[in-house]
Structure formats: C-alpha cells, structure tokens
C-alpha cells in the first residue's frame, strides 16, 4: 500500500485485569495503529485566480454558453490563461474537467487500516506492596 497520502495515529487504553474471578493487580494495555488515507489531507492547491476561473466558467456554463463562447468572453474581458496565453475553448474545457475530477478525488473515501496489535500486561504486585 502507498502510504504517501496516509496519516498515522497511535492509540492505547489501560484497564485493571480480572483473573479467575478476582482482581489481578496489573495494568493491561492494548495497543494498535490506525492508518488514514485521504486526498483531502493535502488540501486545495488552487490559487485564487484558478478558483476564480473555475467559478466564472461554471457560471457561464449554467447559462448554457459553449466553451468557445466562454473563451471569447474571457479574452474580451482581458483574462489570460495561467501561462499568459489567450483562451481557447479547449482551455476552458480543461479547467472545468480538471476541477471536476479533483472534486471527485476529494470525495473518495478509503477504509482505515488497523495494524500492529499488541497486548501488554504489567504486573503491579510489587508496586502496590511498597505503596501500601
């Protein structure tokens, strides 16, 4: 598994042990790891200008404008692509397509991976004798 996009958490819990119907003077520690994987851990890497372009294109698409019409409008308003070029319909389509793909990726869920289970029993008999 690729753990490049993973977050790791360590958990443990402590409880008093019971053995043969009586209290056993020991701490019982159950340890395990949980790995979370999510593209959302990396956040949104869009600049404000990229976000503006996506929102503007989306608004114009809702008005049923074609990609070519939107490119023409952006050029008329003086906006340039991220590389400083004039817009073409393919640029507009690419911006919309890539953002929608990114949103789908951010919605994807991955199951948590539980691993490295261990149980520790620490006998506290001597500690309790000296504290008593």
List pLDDT tens digits, range 35-53: 877 776 666 678 899 989 9
Q: Are both 18 and 63 inside the same structural domain?
A: no
How many domains in the chain?
Answer: 2
Q: Are both 17 and 62 inside the same structural domain?
A: no
* Percent of residues in the chain assigned helix, strand, coil, to nearest 5: 40, 30, 25
Q: Are both 56 and 68 inside the same structural domain?
A: yes
Q: Decide if 53 contacts 68 (C-beta within 8 A).
A: no
Residue 10's domain comprises: 1-38+110-125
List pLDDT tens digits, range 56-67: 999 999 999 999
Could you tell me the pTM of the whole model?
0.54
């Amino acid at each position: 598994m690729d753990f490049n996009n993973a977050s790791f958490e360590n958990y443990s819990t402590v409880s008093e042990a019971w053995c043969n119907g009586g209290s056993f003077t020991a701490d019982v520690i159950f340890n395990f790891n949980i790995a979370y994987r999510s593209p959302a851990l990396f956040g949104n890497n869009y600049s404000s200008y990229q976000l503006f372009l996506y929102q503007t294109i989306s608004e114009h698409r809702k008005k049923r404008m074609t990609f070519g019409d939107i490119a023409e409008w952006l050029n008329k308003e003086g906006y340039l692509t991220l590389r400083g070029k004039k817009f073409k319909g393919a640029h507009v389509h690419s911006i919309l397509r890539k953002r929608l793909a990114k949103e789908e990726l951010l919605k994807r869920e991955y199951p948590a991976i539980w691993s490295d289970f261990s149980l520790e029993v620490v006998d506290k008999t001597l500690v309790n004798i000296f504290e008593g």
